[in-house]
Amino acid sequence: MPIVPDPNNPGVQGNIKQIYAAGQTKGVVPQDFRLVGDGTLRAAKNIADPSSNLAQTFGQYVPIAQYFTPGITGADAPSTGNYSSADILNNGKGAGACKGKSPLNCALEAKPVAVFISVGRNDIAAKVALDKFQTNLTTAVNTAKAAGVIPVLVTITGTPAQDAEVLNYNTVIYQVAQAENVPLFNVYAARKDDPGRIDAKGLLSAPPAGKQADFSPDGLKAGQNFINIQLLQVLSDLKAVLGLP
């Protein structure tokens, strides 16, 4: 479920290896990843919660969570917010520590090995034309690549009533991922086996209080917890393909 196109696809694999090779000359940090956009993946910080039962439920991912600690603990950095595809490229939109920089450049400044680009929901709300959305997304991908950082595109979620528009924007996201030979994290698929993983607003559903790091079968009924496990699989795949130390 997590990645389409598959990073083991020869085209994607060769491309992300090439980006990483360039990134090594620029000082990228193999253990770090960053998020930029609408905050869909901000709950990744919960993976580091001391109450986590990851070791008991998905022990194979414990080394991955430990390896990528800088990215996990930095998941709620100011490069995420109520940002559209245009906002992440706009130097006037950076907040907090990003002030004076675009959210994307703010994320890239940390020199992460990868940046997860999650935009689309706010583009729908702003009625951004699909061709403009595609141009913005392609610009973001190429900006990351130029910095030696692997861009990972993220599909968007929505309510069933929003599906027609969501499908249009997700199709563009998928097309850009294919055209640029970069990975795509298919968050939209979270609801496939359990519609409750998406809340009434079309967002990943939050777990009950105190269960933000519960990765048991009951815990995975919450969309945020479920996607955090899928994120660890994505990171595991990237680490293996790139041969990260």
Q: What is the pLDDT of residue 1?
A: 45
Number of independent structural domains in the chain? 1
Residue 1 lies in a domain: no
Residue 57 lies in a domain: yes
Domain residue limits at 111: 10-242
Which tens digit of pLDDT belongs to each residue from 17-51? 999 999 999 999 999 999 999 999 999 999 999 99
Residue 102 lies in a domain: yes
Residue 111 lies in a domain: yes
Instruction: Share the mean pLDDT of the chain.
Output: 94
Residue 222 sits in a domain whose CATH number is 3.40.50.1110
Residue 34 token pair: 């960053």
Residue 4 CB neighbours (<10 A) = 18
Q: How far is CA 227 from the centre of its chain?
A: 10
Spatial separation of the C-alpha atoms in residues 47 and 45, rounded to whole Å:
5
Spatial separation of the C-alpha atoms in residues 90 and 105, rounded to whole Å:
9
Residue 233 lies in a domain: yes
Q: What is the pLDDT of residue 131?
A: 98
Which neighbouring-strand residues pair with 154? 185
Which tens digit of pLDDT belongs to each residue from 154-207? 999 999 989 999 999 999 999 999 999 999 999 999 998 899 999 999 999 999
Residue 148's region, left for phi above 0, alpha for psi from -120 to 50, else beta, is left
Cis ω before 5 (30° cut-off from 0)? yes
